[in-house]
Structure 1
Amino acid sequence: MAWVAEHNLAAAVSNAGGLGIIAAGTAPADMVRDEIRKAKALTDKPFGVNIMLLADNCDEVAKIVCEEGVQVVTTGAGNPQKYMEMWKEHGIFVAPVVPAVSLAKRMEKYGADAVIVEGCEAGGHIGEVTTMALVPQVVDAVNIPVIAAGGIADGRGIAAVSMLGADAMQVGTRFLVAHECVVHDDYKEKVLKAKDRDAVVSGRSTGHPVRSLKNKLTRDFAKLEKNGADSEAIEKLGAGALRLAVVEGDVNNGSLMAGQIAGLVSKRQSCEDIIVEMFTQAEELMK
């Protein structure tokens, strides 16, 4: 959720009783530090930073979270092993995102405190296995907490992954339409109007598939892939597309990253109302 999960949303989620996450993405290191400090000014609750391990400045960002006293780090798109010792020395809780059982076991071996098990229903970069199938297999394979992600947008989703053995859950798509979320209003409207089959996958041929809502960009991706375009051409088309959607509100050429659960998201709410509604429903179901 680069460009989306910034200090306003992270602080609001933490203040509402969740654990807000700032997505570092490929942002300059100084910007990440600034985002952390802005979040601290808005909340005295814990929040985390997601570090994309393929980013060119990953080494610098990995040190910044230590310097700024961040309490939780989640990671994606790579192996966090080389940072583990440093993060542990600073008391940071580390939870890598994993799309497979083998990776979950490896992260436990490297010293992860938990794993975020993300099914292919999720928005953004995805794996191949569904949340329903993947979560219980990871629960059986590791001895650390399992956080379920992908396809969760209400109390029924919370109850379902809890029954599968998950200790917690990560939610993204529903917070796209939160009052505190800074994405462009046109992006929010596309999420609110999404149907069950509107979240499609592009880029499978590159080995880095991404789920987003149907628009001109996804159709352009499909044409390139059908015509056998190479990875460079496909990646060039997607360069800067998320910012185009989030900041400029270009819902035709921008990347409207959202999960398959977008069809269930139907109203704008505050972060607090979202969390209270989801957990109230879940508690009723699990009585």
Structure 2
Amino acid sequence: MKQSKICQLLDIKYPIFQGAMAWVAEEGLASAVSNAGGLGLIASGHAPKYIIKEKIDLARGMTSNTFGVNIMLMSPFVEDIVDLVIEEKVKVITTGAGSPGKYMKRFKEAGIIVIPVVASVAQARRMEKEGADAVVVEGMEGGGHIGKSTTMTLVPQVVDAVSIPVIAAGGIGDGRGVAAALMLGADAVQLGTRFLVSTESIAHDNFKGKVVKAKDIDTVVTGLLTGHPVRGLRNRLTKTFEKAEREEGGKENPNFDRLEDLGKGALKRAVIDGETKNSSMMAGQIAGMIKTDQQSCRDIIQELMLETKEVLKERYFEWV
């Protein structure tokens, strides 16, 4: 396949990004994706500078290919992480939970490629105006924190609205999804749930097993009242959360403290501890498509690209 603009910009072989999943996107997963020709990302989350510095160092010892760091802009350590990626000359960053505008001048002076994650046309336009090199456009089908629009409807609108490369995310799990995103005008795709169950992922086997067993209707969105909706697999916690949203103050006067308490440490319990009942098993709607947790990142990427080529050849070019 012809290399896209984003592949040329980042010096990666395939237009495949690995989602920056908190607790999951560690140096091992990021380096495995990068070694396989995609763009691996280390999630900084709410971790302090010294921890992310260690992860960057470890990743550099595991791959000579391009990898990046995701900066969570709501982190209490965001200023330190910004300093770190500049000091370490990280080639590319993605950002979430806010605008990187206040740091853009420093990023640009350091030669860092900046790719914010957005959930609307307005956000994409703003990021382009502020100097972003590309945007990840995330639809509500994805796992974790989501927006309100679907990938299918949002991606082409953003593509029409900006001149920088667009990376499609949310609801993409195989080559058919990759092909669809490319046809919508995206330069690349970002996948989270598919890499969550890879052999290099540190996610607990119990969590991976729940993803593999999931059906098409087994994810649910909670946190709508808080303004920070999250998609994950149904379990006891999601039911408790839904009940709390309905009963403890309701839509008119939600009990935010109660809802916040329910979410504290919930993702770590799933990823690290393997607790699957009272935890947040963040996963996208494509969980129902995943049939195995025995594939390496290299196997996943190779399969994705082979499927994409076959789909484009069989279902598109025959009409040209």
One-letter amino acid of the structure 2 residue matched with residue 274 of structure 1: I
Query: Max radius of gyration: which structure?
Result: 2
How big is the shift at 1:99? 0.3
Deviations 1:137-157 (A, max 9, x none): 000000000000000010000
**Fraction of identical pairs, as percent:** 59
**What secondary structure is seen at the aligned counterpart in 2 of 1:201?**
strand
Match of 1:277 among 298, 303, 306: 303
Q: Which amino acid aligns with 2:167?
A: I
Secondary structure at the counterpart of residue 255 of structure 1 = coil
Q: Which residue of 2 aligns with 1:18?
A: 38
Note if 1:195 corresponds to 2:221.
Answer: no
The secondary structure found in structure 2 opposite 1:44 is coil
**Is contact 2:48-2:80 (8 Å) kept?**
no
The one-letter code sitting in structure 2 at the alignment partner of 1:224 is A
Q: Secondary structure at the match of 2:257?
A: helix
Matched, 1:58 2:91: no
How far the C-alpha of 1:199 sits from its partner, in A, is: 1.0
Aligned to 1:139: 159
CA deviations over 1:185-215 (Å, ceiling 9, x no partner) = 0000000001101111000000000000001
Deviations 1:251-277 (A, max 9, x none): 111110000010001112000000000
Query: Please, which of 221, 227, 231 is the counterpart of residue 207 of structure 1?
Result: 227
Q: Which runs of 5+ in 1 are unaligned?
A: none
Which of 274, 277, 293 lines up with 1:249 in the alignment?
A: 274
- Residue identity in the other structure for 1:89: E
Displacement of 1:231 in angstroms is: 1.6
> Which of the numbers 126, 134, 153 marks the counterpart of 1:106?
126
Q: Quick check: 1:178 aligned with 2:198? A: yes
Matched length: 287
Q: Distance in 2 between matches of 1:97 and 1:207?
A: 17
Q: Which of 97, 108, 112 is the aligned partner of 1:88?
A: 108
2:225 aligns to what SS in structure 1?
A: helix
Deviation at 1:286, TM superposition (A): 1.2
1:265 to 284, 290, 295: 290
d(CA) in 1 for partners of 2:62, 2:86: 20
Distance 1:265 1:90 in 2: 40
Is 1:8–2:28 an aligned residue pair? yes
Cross-structure match for 2:96: 76
The code of the aligned residue for 2:164 comes to: I
Deviation at 1:27, TM superposition (A): 1.1
- For normalisation by structure 2, the TM-score amounts to 0.89
Structure 1 residue 91, shift from structure 2 partner? 1.1
1:13 is paired with a residue of what secondary structure?
helix
Distance 1:66 1:199 in 2: 38
Tell me, in whole angstroms, the C-alpha distance in 1 between the residues paired with 2:218 and 2:92.
33
Task: Measure, in 2, the Cα distance between the counterparts of 1:71 and 1:262.
Answer: 31
How many Å apart are 1:82 and its aligned residue? 0.8
Q: Once structures 1 and 2 are overlaid, which stretch shifts more, 75-84 or 221-230?
A: 221-230
CA distance in 1, matches of 2:187, 2:255: 41
- Distance of 1:59 and 1:28 partners within structure 2: 10
The C-alpha deviation readout for 1:213-256, integer Å capped at 9, x for no partner, is 00111011001001124222101110111111100000111110
Structure 1 ranges of 4+ moved more than 2 A: none
| Map of 2:177 onto structure 1 | 157
Q: Per-residue deviation at 1:6?
A: 0.5
User: How far, CA to CA, are the matches of 2:191 and 2:286 in structure 1?
Assistant: 10
Matched with 2:13 is none
SS at match of 1:206: coil
**Structure 1 residue 174, shift from structure 2 partner:** 0.4
Q: Distance in 1 between matches of 2:256 and 2:49?
A: 27
Looking at structure 1, the residues matched to 50 and 180 of structure 2 have their Cα atoms a distance apart, in angstroms, of 40
The one-letter code sitting in structure 2 at the alignment partner of 1:275 is I
